[in-house]
Amino acid sequence: MTWSIKLGRILGIDIKVHLTFLLILGWGASIYGGEAGPLYGLLVTVALFVLVLLHELGHSVAAQWFGIKVKDIILLPIGGVARLERMPEKPWQELIVAVAGPAVNVLLFLLLLPVAVAVAILQHTMLPGTLSVESITQPGALGLIMFLLSANVMLVLFNMLPVFPLDGGRVFRATLGFFMDYERATFIAVLIGRMVAVALGLLGLVTYDFFLVLMALFVYTVGGQEGQSVALRGILRKIPVERILARDRVALTPNATVEEVASQIRQSGQPNFAILDPNSHQLLGVTTSDDVAAAMANGQWYRRVAEIMRHTHQIPKIAFHATLDEAQEKLGQASSRVGAVYEGWQFRGLIDLADISRAFRLLASPKAREIVG
Ligand SMILES: [Zn+2]
């Protein structure tokens, strides 16, 4: 995510703060500081976000335990986000990953409780008669611990609201997932989450609660985006690569020149070309219209395509019988627009991101969905 600064690394995960987070520090310093001054306010705000960070680390450790990579944890003014490489799709895995965050706050609460009692007793013995309702909310050691105790309770209550994509909403989707397929469970969880988000947003507007409005916007947009990507994957999952593999694509020999490929592109509009060994018909490399355009721009129209091609080891391999969502994931992981499709050892053709989105556009229409369905 741009606009974020890396603070460090914990358990192999980059910890970042979004630049807007600095605003919250200033705001927190003035709100929580009170009589004790802005420095105490800053301490309280930082302590609050340490709780948020530990919460996100809870999700992260659970995800890593299931072999899911965690890209980073970003602290935003509205809270934290642990960005997972993929979402766990098995209901019980999602359930554990979702609950692991709030579980950390429950644990922290239980650990802080005896500390609070000890500090309260200590304060009372040193200065008898000073323990009152005011003393536990006043700035100071006891006030800070009491604040952290209540913050943990708030974090658990808020995150466990059954509103997707909050943790409670994920628990809700995972629970639905035991009874129906993942796409349907997501659809219902997102729909309910969005309805609650609209209600919370309106409540925030009426009560001038800016934080609530921000949260509602977050839930509405992020929940919707995740719902869409699940629906997309659900469609792509049903189609094997072999069904959309173009059979009329021109392949090249390594001796073809850049100029010849350019004229081929002008005639066919083909975006990428397989370069095959003339004897074994195995794939040697791939060249794209962008590679050819770059070579032409550098005046290298006379060069052999073998000199400018990307070699096979740079091209992700995709199985002929794989599904389109698997193909898309492979391309994404390799940051490549194009992949080489193999049936066993036999090269069968190239597939590119545009092929996948074209297939998706064709199949996303309601009528096609019935056919694929
Ligand atoms: Zn969480």
CA of 77 to the centre of ligand 1 (A): 15
Separation of CA 251 from chain center: 37
Taking the C-alpha atoms of residue 151 and residue 154, their distance in angstroms, rounded to an integer, is: 5
Residues with Cβ < 8 Å from 165, sequence gap 6 or more? 193, 219, 222, 223, 226
Which DSSP helix (H) or strand (E) runs through 349?
strand 346-352
CA of 68 to the centre of ligand 1 (A): 16
In the chain (373 residues long), the average pLDDT of successive 10-residue segments reads: 80 86 77 73 86 93 92 84 83 93 95 89 70 64 86 91 89 91 89 92 91 87 85 83 82 87 85 87 88 86 87 89 88 87 88 85 62 43
Closest CA to 80 of 203, 175, 218: 218
Place of tokens 């947003």: 201
Residue pair 275/362 in contact by the 8 Å Cβ criterion? no
Structure tokens at 349: 């053709």
> What is the per-residue pLDDT for 230?
83
CA of 225 to the centre of ligand 1 (A): 18
- For residue 298, how many other CB atoms are within 10 A of its CB? 11
CA of 178 to the centre of ligand 1 (A): 21
CA of 72 to the centre of ligand 1 (A): 14
CA of 98 to the centre of ligand 1 (A): 6
Taking the C-alpha atoms of residue 214 and residue 216, their distance in angstroms, rounded to an integer, is: 5
Taking the C-alpha atoms of residue 148 and residue 99, their distance in angstroms, rounded to an integer, is: 20
> What is the per-residue pLDDT for 373?
40
* pLDDT one-digit tens code per residue, 21-33: 777 777 777 777 6
CA of 351 to the centre of ligand 1 (A): 37
CA of 55 to the centre of ligand 1 (A): 6
> What is the per-residue pLDDT for 130?
59
Three-class SS state of 13: strand
Angle between helices 141-159 and 91-126 (to 10 degrees): 160
CA of 54 to the centre of ligand 1 (A): 10
Q: What global pTM score does this model have? A: 0.71
Strands 338-343, 317-319: parallel, antiparallel or unpaired by DSSP?
Answer: parallel
Exposure string over 65-87, b if 16+ CB within 10 A, otherwise e:
eeebebebbbbbbbbbbbbbeeb
Three-class SS state of 371: helix
Taking the C-alpha atoms of residue 60 and residue 71, their distance in angstroms, rounded to an integer, is: 10
Residues with Cβ < 8 Å from 181, sequence gap 6 or more? 234
Residues with Cβ < 8 Å from 110, sequence gap 6 or more? none
> What is the per-residue pLDDT for 131?
59
Taking the C-alpha atoms of residue 252 and residue 276, their distance in angstroms, rounded to an integer, is: 6
CA of 48 to the centre of ligand 1 (A): 14
According to CATH, the topology of domain 241-372 is CBS-domain (3.10.580)
Residue 2 exposure: Cα atoms within 13 Å on the Cβ side: 0
CA of 184 to the centre of ligand 1 (A): 23
CA of 348 to the centre of ligand 1 (A): 44
In the chain, where the domains are located: 1-160, 161-236, 241-372
User: What DSSP state is assigned to residue 257?
Assistant: B
